[in-house]
Amino acid sequence: MNHGPDDQGPEGLDSDELALRRILHQAVEEIEPRDGTLDHLRRAVPARRARKRQALVGAAAAVLFLGTAVPALVHVSNSTGSSVNSEYAGHGEQAQGGAGQGKETEGGESTSGGSSGKTEDKGQGGEKEKGEDTGAGTGSGTGGSDDPSAAGPADVTPCTADQLGTSGGTTAAPDSTGTVYGTFRFSNISATDCTVSSPGGVSFITAGAADSSKITTSRHVGGDAAAGLPDPSQELTSLVLKPGAAYEVKFAWIPSETCPTTTDPTEGPDDPTPTPTPTENPTTTEGTSTGGDTGTSTQLMSQDTTADGSVTVTNTAEAGAPTATALVSNACAGIIYYTGVLAGA
């Protein structure tokens, strides 16, 4: 319904609007606020405004914290030298800081353009592998070949015959039971390291009355008759010989029988002077004597002596040479016990 200018009230409202206004005024003219409503509004409105300001300040602080913490975290992560996973970095290219450090991307190769000489790789299994790079332009690196504690048996080749030398074998005086202990010594005469893992071959050679059928060799074990040999726990399964270093193999001769005795005829002690030569006497007749043949006749008797026998114990190095020998005198039957590889003194 359109109204003209004459239908408008003094406040510029149409007659319908004025009527609605009167109705609304009539509807609320009997409504009065409760006591203290104005005071409540005076307190609530500033409190609500304060909460809004605090919320805005907290949001701004959170944004500022994230804006400073994330770049710092990325910087620290880059400076530690660990590989960056492209899943989190948002790209598959390099995401690494610092000069001279190269990092592999997933499925690629590690590179190093600096002087550190070391690369740190992250494989498909997620485990880090560190390796030393001795190539040109990647630094010198540290080698372990000159460190005796770092070079293990797997890193050194076995000793050859040309690398070993020996000063022979030595023996001690027999003890009260006739046992003889001896030592074979071998040394590295080359300029490179080599490994020994076996005492070699121990054998013997008999001489005189020694009976080879009554002589045997046996590896020394705990509780055997060769109590004077080192305990088997001191033997080495493998030993790296530096140039000039030596190892030893010890042995023991345990006699089982004494050498046999022999009976030889000799001149008795009752024959101090030889039989005199009779003088010529052309007038001597058969059956008479001139008295010049009064000397005593030669008497024979037997004497028991010990037969001479000896055993030469030999030790050939694991490489087939050299061979060391040791002579055991007055030995005819027994057992030769020998040890494994022992560190040289």
Whether 24 is covered by a domain: the verdict is no
pLDDT (mean) for 56-71: 86
Query: Does residue 320 or residue 41 have the better pLDDT?
Result: 320
Cα separation, 266 vs 336, in Å, equals: 37
In whole angstroms, what is the distance from residue 194 CA to residue 92 CA? 48
List, for residues 145-185, the tens digit of each pLDDT value. Answer: 333 333 455 678 999 999 999 989 999 999 999 999 999 99
Contact between 335 and 256 under an 8 Å Cβ cutoff? The reply is: yes
Q: Which ranges in 229-297 belong to alpha helices (H)?
A: none
For 214-265, write each residue's pLDDT tens digit. 999 999 999 999 999 999 999 999 999 999 999 999 999 999 999 988 766 5
On whether residue 145 sits in a domain, the answer given is no
Rounded Cα distance, 293 and 276, in Å? 7
Beta bridge partners of 118: 132
pLDDT score at 302: 53
CA-nearest of 239, 248, 244 to 192 is 244
DSSP string for 151-206? --GGGSPBPPGGGEEEEEEEEPPP-TT--EEEEEEEEE-SSS-EEE----EEEEEE
Query: For the chain, what is the domain count?
Result: 1
Q: Work out the number of other CB atoms within 10 angstroms of the CB of residue 210.
A: 23
Q: Give a yes or no: residue 288 inside a domain.
A: no
Residue 184 Ramachandran class (φ > 0 left, ψ -120 to 50 alpha, else beta)? beta
- SS3 at position 314: strand
Structure tokens at 278: 């009779």
pLDDT of residue 131: 42
Contacts of 168 (CB under 8 A, 6+ apart): 184, 185, 324, 325, 326
**Assigned domain for 205 exists:** yes
pLDDT value at residue 329 = 93
Q: Nearest CA to 167 among 194, 187, 182, 181?
A: 187
Does a structural domain hold residue 188? yes
The CA distance from 9 to 123, in Å, is 87
The boundaries of the domain holding residue 246 are: 161-257+306-343
Q: What is the pLDDT of residue 163?
A: 94
* Domain presence at residue 135: no
**Which amino acid belongs to residue 58?**
G
For residue 191, the domain's CATH number is 2.60.40
DSSP, collapsed to helix, strand or coil, labels residue 312 as strand
pLDDT at residue 24 above 70?
yes
The count of other CB atoms within 10 Å of the CB of residue 72 is 9
Nearest CA-CA partner of 121 in 112, 107, 133, 110: 110
Pairing verdict, β 201-208 and 309-316: antiparallel
Is residue 342 within 8 A of residue 184, CB to CB? The reply is no
Q: Is residue 295 part of a domain?
A: no
In a domain, 249, yes or no: yes
